[in-house]
Amino acid sequence: MPVKLRAVNPHYLEYYSLRDKPDESHTVAIAGPDGKTWYRSAHAGLDLSDFRFWDAFGMTDREGKFAIGLDVTDASRNKLRSWSRELIGKHAGVVVHGRLHDVSLLRGEIDGGVRIPGFSDEESVQKTLDAIKAGGLVPSTASRPGK
């Protein structure tokens, strides 16, 4: 029987539908990776708990740029299909640790998994992978007393 791990912080990674202008369902302004202002939906379509975060992996895309791959859980497969089907021809974005990390125009239904592009180097991939694999738990960067 497969073990179901629980994301400690499912909001660490969230997928939203986006618009370039606000409308009745896209009212939350968020800066894109290029500085452009987007408007996201109030509620995420998917979050870290919808993915097999413990199996996340680093990769390079076809252009040799750094990315992270995530497979959807069996329980959320239909949710991902339905959500992505509704957004064909529209923009979606992935928010990582509160920052809009990537914006994509959806060209078809997504089935199975996602790729998060846009990392500048292996170190940033590893740091994000560590947090994802820890269920969204971000290591403290604050120094301890006496250090």
Note whether 76 and 15 are within 8 A (CB): no
Output the six-digit token pair for 47.
């979050």
Backbone angles phi, psi at 110, to 5 degrees: -95, 130
Buried b (16+ CB within 10 A) or exposed e, 39-75: bbbeebbbbbbbbebeebeeeeeeeeebbbbbebbee
Give the count of beta carbons closer than 10 Å to the beta carbon of residue 117: 17
* The model's pTM: 0.89
Model confidence pLDDT, tens digit, residues 90-147: 999 999 999 999 999 999 999 989 999 989 999 999 999 999 999 999 876 544 444 3
Output the six-digit token pair for 78.
């239909």
Model confidence pLDDT, tens digit, residues 57-75: 999 888 888 999 999 999 9
**Domains, the chain:** 10-133 (3.30.1360.200)
